[in-house]
């Protein structure tokens, strides 16, 4: 599935460009995803690293480890 998708975080500091999504795309309805997105579900799409380009703000990314 070829694409040309550009995205960013809410403040615009982190921007990225995706040239191709993989076919595995899904919704998660767990309570953590509901809280994180403020919605009934969140949607995830898989992208290979070679198809992802960080345009700005990569150094501002943080990692969050959720309790299971």
Interaction site with Zn ion (CB under 5 A): 28, 30, 33
Which of 9/30 has CB closer to Zn ion? 30
Q: Are strands 25-28 and 42-45 parallel, antiparallel or unpaired?
A: antiparallel
Q: Is 61 helix (H, G, I), strand (E, B) or coil?
A: coil
Nearer to Zn ion, 11 or 66 (CB): 66
Cβ of residue 66: shortest distance to Zn ion, in angstroms?
9
Query: Which structure tokens are listed for 55?
Result: 């345009």
Instruction: Calculate the CA dihedral of residues 52, 58, 62, 65 and round it to 10 degrees.
Output: 20
Nearest distance in Å: CB 22, Zn ion: 19
Indicate the residue among 17 and 29 with the shorter CB distance to Zn ion: 29
């Amino acid at each position: 599935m070829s694409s040309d998708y550009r995205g960013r975080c809410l403040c615009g500091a982190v921007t990225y460009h995706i040239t191709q999504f993989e076919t595995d795309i899904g919704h998660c309805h767990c309570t953590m995803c509901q809280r994180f997105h403020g919605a009934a579900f969140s949607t995830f799409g898989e992208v290979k690293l070679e198809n992802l380009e960080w345009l700005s703000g990569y150094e501002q990314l943080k990692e969050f480890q959720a309790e299971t």
